[in-house]
């Protein structure tokens, strides 16, 4: 992951039929898991599952936008990446806010549901990471795809840890703590993407 965190202004720009096919695959994976995980989050009362479902949604949108701007000018691609960074920022703030609200009306989420769905999501995320591994470096647009894939993998491991914590402690705090960590992950990724996109826009002709 560390190799893909730097700025690669002249890197891979997505112009590859193979890359497009891989994006379609991960769009399908992420859209499916968004629906499954959001429903499970509602049923189990888990903030961490809902936060992770939003991560899947963000990824599906990110991959769709990335497909749409492949072949466009650097300025257009950088602008698309900037929009994705801003959307991640908004989502991070929403997760942080909803988690704070949940603290005031604590309800114990269902640990078994969290664990099962978290494991399913982890498998989906690992599949997406493997599909995109070859294209983990590139311009801001390509890099935003990789950052979202990384968020998913980290997020689902965290959800499973939260499920174990909820089960062991009979408390909602592990779930809330994980949701807070994921909000921070959204905000950190949005900062990286926005910074990279603004730098590319400045260098675009």
| Mean pLDDT computed over 158-170 | 75
* Cβ burial 144-183 (10 Å sphere, 16+ → b, else e): bbbbbbbbbbbbbebbbbbbebbeeeeebebbbbbbbbbb
* pLDDT (0 to 100) of residue 104: 55
* pLDDT (0 to 100) of residue 3: 30
* 139, 74 contact by CB (below 8 A): yes
* 114, 44 contact by CB (below 8 A): yes
Of the listed ranges 14-23, 97-106, 140-149, the least confidently predicted one is: 97-106
What confidence tens digit (pLDDT) does each residue in 13-42 have? 567 788 888 889 989 998 998 999 889 888
* pLDDT (0 to 100) of residue 28: 93
Asked if residue 111 has pLDDT above 90, the reply is: no
* pLDDT (0 to 100) of residue 100: 64
Average pLDDT, the chain: 75
Asked if residue 149 has pLDDT above 90, the reply is: no
Asked if residue 10 has pLDDT above 60, the reply is: no
* Cβ burial 68-92 (10 Å sphere, 16+ → b, else e): ebbeeebeebbbbbbbbbebbbebb
Pick the more confident residue, 195 or 145: 195
* pLDDT (0 to 100) of residue 12: 65
pLDDT band at 54 (very low <50, low <70, confident <90, very high): confident
Asked if residue 177 has pLDDT above 70, the reply is: yes
pLDDT band at 117 (very low <50, low <70, confident <90, very high): confident
Q: Domains plus CATH for the chain? A: 13-203 (1.20.1510)
| Residue carrying the six token digits 């990286």 | 192
pLDDT band at 205 (very low <50, low <70, confident <90, very high): low
Asked if residue 121 has pLDDT above 50, the reply is: yes
């Amino acid at each position: 992951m560390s190799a893909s965190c730097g700025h690669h202004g002249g890197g891979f720009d997505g112009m590859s039929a193979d890359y497009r096919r891989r994006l379609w695959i991960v769009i399908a994976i992420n859209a499916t898991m968004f629906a499954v995980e959001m429903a499970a989050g509602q049923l189990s009362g888990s903030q961490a599952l809902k936060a992770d479902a939003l991560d899947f949604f963000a990824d599906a949108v990110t991959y769709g936008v990335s497909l749409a701007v492949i072949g466009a000018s650097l300025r257009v691609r950088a602008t698309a990446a900037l929009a994705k960074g801003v959307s991640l920022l908004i989502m991070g703030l929403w997760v942080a806010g909803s988690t704070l609200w949940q603290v005031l009306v604590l309800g114990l989420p269902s640990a078994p549901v969290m664990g099962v769905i978290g494991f399913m999501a982890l498998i989906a995320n690992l599949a997406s990471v493997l599909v995109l591994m070859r294209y983990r470096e590139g311009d801001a647009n390509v890099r935003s795809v990789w950052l979202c894939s990384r968020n998913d993998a980290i997020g689902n491991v965290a959800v499973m840890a939260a499920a174990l914590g909820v089960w062991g402690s009979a408390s909602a705090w592990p779930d809330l703590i994980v949701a807070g960590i994921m909000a921070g992950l959204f905000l950190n990724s949005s900062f990286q993407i926005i910074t990279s996109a603004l730098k590319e826009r400045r260098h675009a002709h």
